[in-house]
C-alpha cells in the first residue's frame, strides 16, 4: 500500500473556476443589440431596483393620488361670525376654489387632483 501525504497550503478555500462566456451572447453584446428577454429583464430590474429616485417618485405619486396636492390660500371672504363663503387656493393645477370642512379657510390644504384636464391634455383634446 502506498502512503498518502496531505499538505495544507492555505486556510482559504480554492478560487472558483471562471466560466467561459457563451459565444452567441458575446457576439450580441459586441454588436450592441439585446435580445427581447434581456430587454424585459433590464426594464423590470430598473423598476424594482431600490433607489432613492424611483422610491421617491413612487411615494410622490402615491401621496398625490391618495391625498391630493398641497395648495396655499391666496384670497378668502368671511363673515364676522367666522363662516367663510369663498376660499381661493393656488397649487399645482393653478387657482382653485374650495371651502374647508367647517366653513373655514385653512392656510394650507390638500386638494384632490382634478383628472379631467390632465386626461384631456394627454389625449390631445
Quick: pLDDT tens for 44-67: 888 788 788 888 888 888 888 888
Is 47 among the domain residues? yes
pTM: 0.53
With respect to residue 3, please indicate whether it lies within any of the assigned structural domains: no
Give the pLDDT confidence score for residue 1 in this predicted structure.
62
Domain that holds residue 81: 69-123
* Residues 115, 84 share a domain: yes
Euclidean distance between CA atoms 34 and 90, whole angstroms: 47
Residue 100 covered by a domain: yes
Q: Residue 110 is placed in which grid cell? A: 390638500
Q: In the listed set 44, 62, 80, which residue is the last one of a domain according to the structure?
A: 62
Inter-CA distances, 110 with 6, 9, 66, 89, Å: 75, 69, 10, 10
Q: Report the number of distinct structural domains present in the chain.
A: 2
pLDDT tens digits for 5-19?
888 888 888 788 888
Question: pLDDT higher for 35 or 86?
Answer: 86
Query: Is 55 a member of any domain?
Result: yes
Amino acid at each position: 500500500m502506498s502512503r498518502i501525504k496531505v499538505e495544507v497550503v492555505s486556510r482559504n478555500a480554492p478560487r472558483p473556476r471562471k466560466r467561459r462566456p457563451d459565444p452567441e451572447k458575446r457576439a450580441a453584446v459586441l454588436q450592441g443589440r439585446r435580445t427581447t428577454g434581456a430587454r424585459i429583464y433590464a426594464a423590470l430590474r430598473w423598476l424594482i431596483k431600490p433607489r432613492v429616485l424611483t422610491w421617491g417618485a413612487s411615494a410622490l405619486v402615491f401621496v398625490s393620488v391618495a391625498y391630493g396636492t398641497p395648495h396655499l390660500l391666496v384670497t378668502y371672504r368671511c363673515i364676522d361670525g367666522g363662516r367663510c363663503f369663498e376660499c381661493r387656493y393656488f397649487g399645482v393645477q393653478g387657482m382653485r376654489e374650495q371651502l374647508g370642512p367647517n366653513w373655514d379657510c385653512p392656510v394650507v390644504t390638500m386638494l384632490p387632483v382634478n383628472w379631467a384636464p390632465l386626461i384631456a391634455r394627454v389625449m390631445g383634446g
